[in-house]
Amino acid sequence: MNAGMARPTKDTPRAEAQRERILCAAQRCFIEYGFHAASMASIAETAQMSAGLMYRYFENKSAIVLAIIERQLQEGRTQIAQLHSSSELAASLYDVFTRWQARDPSVMNAALFLEMSAEGTRDPQIAAALRGSDALILSDLAGWMNRAREDGGLGLPPETVATRAFLLECFIRGLALTAVRQPDIDPGTIKDSIDSVVSRLLSP
């Protein structure tokens, strides 16, 4: 459990549903108002619950951000575990980019991703959570790249996967920045770029 996160003593299905409700509301508020402008009161209002009830689950915005990072990490790891080919990865990246463009509140908004990264320079807990998340994603990507093809991996040489995984992560961050700074970019350009980079980066 993340430090600073106030949770009921027992994680009942109702408690988990309440936490998810708060996280979805917080993500919507962060996307609409920005991290610093979104207040705990506005998050509670969006979640349609009292501030007192919300504070039973999260004591402050930093605790909520930590939980969002954890949730996004688990979703990312699940997606990596389901990959079986480089074409599936390319399709997944394109899908995420289009949802970033549409400002889909159910996924980590690209602008929010960048804002949370900046917040990590001021909040040691958030910085540590982001570093830990990055490390796990890199490890999972490298493992998938190195895993034998018959086991759902790419069978790439083990001495190359760490560098490939790092370059892929850098490319994904570049896509996030592009979604923010060039929201009207031609989808075909993005799709062709993703296909080209993934194909070159993950070739044997």
From first to last of the 204 residues of the chain, give the pLDDT tens digit: 344 444 444 578 888 899 999 999 998 888 888 888 899 999 999 999 999 999 999 999 999 999 999 988 998 899 899 998 999 999 999 998 988 887 766 666 787 888 888 888 989 999 999 999 999 999 999 999 999 999 989 999 999 999 999 999 999 999 989 988 998 999 999 999 999 999 999 998
The CATH architecture of the domain made up of 13-199 is Orthogonal Bundle (1.10)
Please state the domain extents for the chain: 13-199
User: What does the pLDDT read at residue 118?
Assistant: 86
Interaxial angle between packed helices 124-146 and 110-119, expressed in degrees from 0 to 180 and rounded to the nearest 10 = 120
Helix (H) or strand (E) holding 81: helix 61-81
Report which of 8, 189, 5, 191 is spatially closest to residue 87, judged by C-alpha positions.
Answer: 191
User: What does the pLDDT read at residue 31?
Assistant: 81
- Residue 95: CB atoms within 10 A of its CB come to 12
User: What does the pLDDT read at residue 3?
Assistant: 42
pTM tops 0.85, yes or no: no
User: How many angstroms separate the CA atoms of 22 and 149, rounded?
Assistant: 40
User: How many angstroms separate the CA atoms of 195 and 148, rounded?
Assistant: 22
| DSSP sequence for 129-179 | HHHHHHHHHHHHHHHHHHS-GGGTS----HHHHHHHHHHHHHHHHHHHHHH
User: What does the pLDDT read at residue 130?
Assistant: 95
